[in-house]
Structure 1
Amino acid sequence: MAELKTKYMGLELRSPIIAASCGLTSDVEKMVEMEEAGVGAVVLKSIFEEQINQETSGVFNAGYGMSDGYPEAEDYIKAYIRSNTIQKYVELVRNAKSRLSIPVIASVNCFSGGEWVSFARQLQDAGADALELNVFILPVNEFTESAEVENVYFEIMKSIKEQVKIPVAIKISHYFTNLSAFVDKMKAYGANATTIFNRFYEPDININSLTMGAASVFSTATELRTTLRWTGILAGKDKNLEISASTGVHSGEAVVKLLLAGATTVQLCSVLYEKGISVIGEMNTFIKTWMESKAFESIDDFRGMLSYSSIDNPDLYERAQFMKYFSNKSN
């Protein structure tokens, strides 16, 4: 009988399917429902570094500041609001841990390695089984070298690892000059796993109202291609690299493809909104049925079977194959 159990960052998971950080994972009742549906772990909705910083100054921006002659009072109020914002998230971790038996992974969306990283220790003390850092830095200064941008990521990881003992994953985009080298260095700085890829708000233009806005926040099944390519390449380059594949995962078939490419786990987000939490059970059933049809007893029996280094023609993962594909079609 096919067994879906697997390990991720040293954590025991009953399924390779993880609920990604999203609005649904800020609701403990929804997460209980996910556990009942068979999810392997949950990543809590991210608390934003910007949120921690901005909420402390929001009161003053609204005209309630006391900076005119009372700098100590302003510092006190800022510290209080900051502490309250953090405490709410810590309570989410505690509540989730008290209700769930599956691993609970806290999430922080960050863009710098400042003093706020001490917050990570509070998450650990609250019972978080692991931490996922969701980092995306958009360099818009033409004088900033790529190495400077990458060093910010390394500094964040280094700072966090100095604060906690629980495993830490880094969630990144694919916008790097040499993604393989970057991920390898991130692992050297202490990352226990890499989540590919984070999904962020992207701009759109309304040509009727002549205004800027946000594009759809949900992924589509076609976006799996980028995730699949880089999962296969990265897993093939380093068989000990733990990858949590995310973005474009809308079916059990997509989960199987990513596991074959070398993913350790697979994260769901958009499909949970579009099809409901019950889709987790449907995907688990698909994986089991597929495994039994191929006589695979465990995930490890086939994980990475079709990674970059495991196939006869690794060029299939590279862009050059695009032209070869069409030249073959013409024959």
Structure 2
Amino acid sequence: DYIKNYSRNHTIEQYLDLIREAKKKLSIPVIASVNCMTANEWPSFAKKIEEAGADGLELNAFVLPSDFENDSADNEKMYFDIVNNVLDQVKIPISLKISSYFSSLAQMVQKLSWTGVKGIVLFNRFYTPDIDIDKMKVVPSNIYSHPEEIAVSLRWVAILADRVNCDLAASTGIHDGKGVIKQLLVGAKAVQICSTLYKNGFGQIDNMLTELESWMQKHNYSDIDQFRGKMSHKKSDNPAAYQRVQFMKHFAGID
């Protein structure tokens, strides 16, 4: 237990040092992100992050709904407990990063937006297992995201935009400027990227911004807000496209 607690505290202190150093060197806001194992750990860690100087905090929360003793209400309550406990302890803006594993996702996001969080990130990408059939062992599957994975968050940002009481950020599968443009068009206030930086380096950020700026010039936009949400479910000329879940109409040539 001593070694475990020492390692944990050392890791936390390293992260807090990173925040302090970032605040000294950067002119942009520093938004921290935290993922705790138990609900009672979140508030104390969040307070330390605020004291370290973070301008905002993302709560990266995911409860795998694999406990046969918990029903959907039990699982959902954990998220509200985490958010409310953290909001009671800190004054900096809080965002919540969630998965799509909810029986009524739209209602869940709407209710979470009423708690006082400033943003909800759709969606977190978590570890998934695979099987090595030769070594007969469990191995990680698809550590990095792929561009095709943008489809899930694209649909839900589009459906939820302008229908919740906080900003929406998009995550997973955003690898280039086109991905950024798509998410902005459906209503995202921000996007998160990670895998593309591991694959292409930090220069990919410049590439994505250049692609975004070129597209805006081509379509005579001088400001992102001029087109943000233009293709959301609420504003789309074909909102039913976001609700479609079967392929039959597609293959039958029916719009």
Q: Place the TM-score, normalised by the shorter chain, in its bin.
A: over 0.9
CA distance in structure 2 between the partners assigned to 1:148 and 1:218 by the alignment: 31
Q: How far apart are the structure 2 equivalents of 1:127 and 1:204?
A: 39
Find 1:252's aligned residue among 161, 177, 180. 177
With normalisation by structure 1, the TM-score equals 0.73
C-alpha change, 1:208 and 1:191, in structure 2 (3 Å) is same
Query: What secondary structure sits across from 2:74 in the alignment?
Result: helix
Query: What TM-score does the superposition give when structure 2 sets the normalisation length?
Result: 0.94
In the TM superposition, what is the alpha-carbon distance from 1:171 to its structure 2 partner? 0.6
Q: How has the CA–CA distance of structure 1 residues 257 and 81 changed in structure 2, closer, same or farther, with 3 Å as cutoff?
A: closer
> 1:58, CA displacement in angstroms?
5.8
Residues 196 and 246, structure 1, Cα contact 8 Å, conserved in 2 = yes
Deviation at 1:105, TM superposition (A): 0.7
The alignment partner of 1:201 has SS state of: coil
Counterpart Cα distance in 1 of 2:128 and 2:10: 30
Distance 1:295 1:118 in 2: 48
Question: For residue 226 of structure 1, what is the amino acid of its counterpart?
Answer: V
CA distance 1:209–1:321, change in 2 (3 Å):
closer
Deviations for 1:24-70, whole angstroms, at most 9, x for unmatched residues? xxxxxxxxxxxxxxxxxxxxxxxxxxxxxxxxx2627xxxxxxxxxx
Which residue pairs with 1:173 in the alignment? 99
Distance in 2 (CA, whole Å) between partners of 1:103 and 1:163 is 20
Q: 2:32·2:57 contact (CA, 8 Å) conserved in 1? A: yes
Any gaps of 5 or more consecutive residues in structure 2? none
Corresponding residue of 1:291: 216
Residue in structure 1 matched with residue 193 of structure 2 by the alignment: 268
**Shift, 1:82, TM fit:** 5.1
Structure 1 residues 81 and 214 mapped into 2: Cα distance closer, same or farther (>3 Å)? closer
Q: In 2, distance between residues paired with 1:115 and 1:306?
A: 40
Greater relative CO, 1 or 2 (CA 8 Å, sep 6+): 1
Larger Rg: 1
3-state SS of the aligned residue for 1:324?
Answer: helix
Counterpart for residue 122 of structure 2: 196
Which of 24, 32, 35 in structure 2 is aligned with 1:98? 24
Q: Identify if the C-alpha distance between structure 1 residues 320 and 85 changes in structure 2 by more than 3 Å, giving closer, same or farther.
A: closer
Compared CA separation, residues 159 and 256, structure 1 to 2 (3 A)? same
Does 1:114 find its partner at 2:58? no
- The match for 2:202 among 267, 274, 277 is 277
State the partner residue of 1:128.
Answer: 54
Matched positions, count: 255
Between the two proteins, what is the percent identity of the paired residues?
45
1 CA distance for matches of 2:177 and 2:151?
A: 15
Pairwise mapping of residues 59-70 of structure 1 onto structure 2 (< 5 A)? Answer: 59=3
CA distance in 2: counterparts of 1:232 and 1:171, whole angstroms: 17
**What is the SS of the residue equivalent to 1:96?**
helix
